[in-house]
Structure 1
């Protein structure tokens, strides 16, 4: 009887610690941005699933929409190589998450600041896959604009 009581209490104690897939995806994205802001290349690499597709959608000087493609390794290198004397921060808006089994889509409005001044804003869109090691990034798209920055 004592074992049954212990088992029931133990089970209830841990149900509060389990996260839904949406909550764990949200946690992963927040940890990604924490590593991003800290320029932690090891941690940033740990979020990737094999080949990660990166695309940035911007309006060029002629007003034409263009798509820039990059590798995840270049992205990490660019972040890590920001000089220490440059203060940068990506501030996030409200994160929206949709999941279906092993797939998640995460919409994250942001404002990017350099030395406390707004540089640009937009939306990050993560596509995630759920693995035995948790959520991993399979693609990351972002938009970048200089005005109308309200998330």
Structure 2
């Protein structure tokens, strides 16, 4: 077989494999992964609704949050975060906010799980900051709850 023909067959095999193998985004999540992600989405929904009770319900009491901003950690409990977000703004108008993750990496071992995912945070419908979210979750009485959150918030987001 000539080198050109060998190269053609190799390229054809690579192209076939690229089409045949699912991309990470195409892999369906399992019901257990969906269950792990449920409190994360509950947290985000509570944030959007400025609902402190929903935020707190997504986590164990005293869950720790570490938000990295400009290389500095800002640490708080889930309760202080919920209280801060549920207070009305001085002008009486709550700024519409929305946080979303994409392509989450979920790992589960018995009653312990971790979620690592890129995120975007929108304020008034525009990207305010982005980064990576890291959630540690535990299963208590059959229900997944957030034990801690860390994120990297930065302003150099592609969608800005």
2:103, 2:49 → 1: CA distance? 21
Deviates more, 1:85-94 or 1:99-108: 85-94
Q: Deviations over 1:63-113 (max 9, x none)?
A: xx2212112111101211253342222132222211111100011321112
Q: Do the aligned partners of residues 78 and 149 (structure 1) sit closer, same or farther apart at CA in structure 2, a change above 3 Å counting?
A: farther
Gaps of 5+ in 2: 1-29
Q: Deviations over 1:51-71 (max 9, x none)?
A: 211101122xxxxx2212112
1:85, 1:54 → 2: CA distance? 22
Residue 141 of structure 1 is matched in structure 2 by 150
Residue 25 of structure 1 is matched in structure 2 by 36
- Bigger CA radius of gyration: 2
2:46, 2:137 → 1: CA distance? 17
Match of 1:97 among 106, 114, 123: 106
* 4+ residue segments displaced more than 6 Å: none
Q: Do the aligned partners of residues 50 and 77 (structure 1) sit closer, same or farther apart at CA in structure 2, a change above 3 Å counting?
A: closer
Gaps of 5+ in 1: 1-18, 60-64
Structure 1-normalised TM-score? Answer: 0.74
* 1:111–1:122 contact (8 Å) kept in structure 2: yes
Deviates more, 1:78-87 or 1:39-48: 78-87
* 1:122–1:149 contact (8 Å) kept in structure 2: no
Structure 2-normalised TM-score? Answer: 0.71
Match of 1:37 among 23, 30, 48: 48
Q: Deviations over 1:9-34 (max 9, x none)?
A: xxxxxxxxxx7422211222222212
Residue 67 of structure 2 is matched in structure 1 by 56
| Residues 1:66 and 2:77 are matched in the alignment | no
